[in-house]
Amino acid sequence: MAKKNYPFFDLNEEIGFPTGISTSKDWEPSTNIFETDKSIVIEMELAGVIIEDISITLEDAKELIVKGIKKQSWLQETGIKYYLFERKFGDFFKRIHIDVPIDTENIRSVMENGVLIIEVFKKVTEKITVRIK
């Protein structure tokens, strides 16, 4: 279902994302994607990221793009000695290709305990029976 990420994105002046074509990102969030009868669900670990620093867009009704920044203001302070530095921060980007027809008017997202959950509902299509003559 998900294809390889191609981090090509435009400037988002509201949150200060990089401009133009870029392959730079500081990290990529761990993600689970699963399908139910009615929807595609994306769970993305974003502990420490505030909602205002996350952008979710849908392109061409099939490319879901999640990007943002995880800020660490104390990194600019002087006199700090690091003994262990494992947490990831900075710009992140994830592009998810959705191969099923979706209801573009019915997409929900919520942040719960540091996990962004995006539910993309499938487009309901009529089943047509064709008579053979």
Q: Kindly report, residue by residue over 81-95, the tens digit of the pLDDT.
A: 778 878 888 899 999
SS3 for 53?
Answer: helix
Q: Which amino acid is at 113?
A: N
Give residue 24's pLDDT. 59
Q: CA end-to-end span of the chain, whole Å?
A: 38
pLDDT (tens digit, 9 = 90+) per residue, 18-71?
444 444 578 899 999 999 999 999 999 999 999 999 999 999 999 999 999 998
Structure tokens at 108: 């929900």
Structure tokens at 76: 């600019």
For the chain, how big is the Rg over CA atoms in Å? 18
Give residue 78's pLDDT. 74
21 vs 132 pLDDT, higher one: 132
Rounded Cα gap, residues 64 and 37, in angstroms: 19
Handedness of CA 88, 89, 93, 99 (dihedral sign): positive
Give residue 27's pLDDT. 87
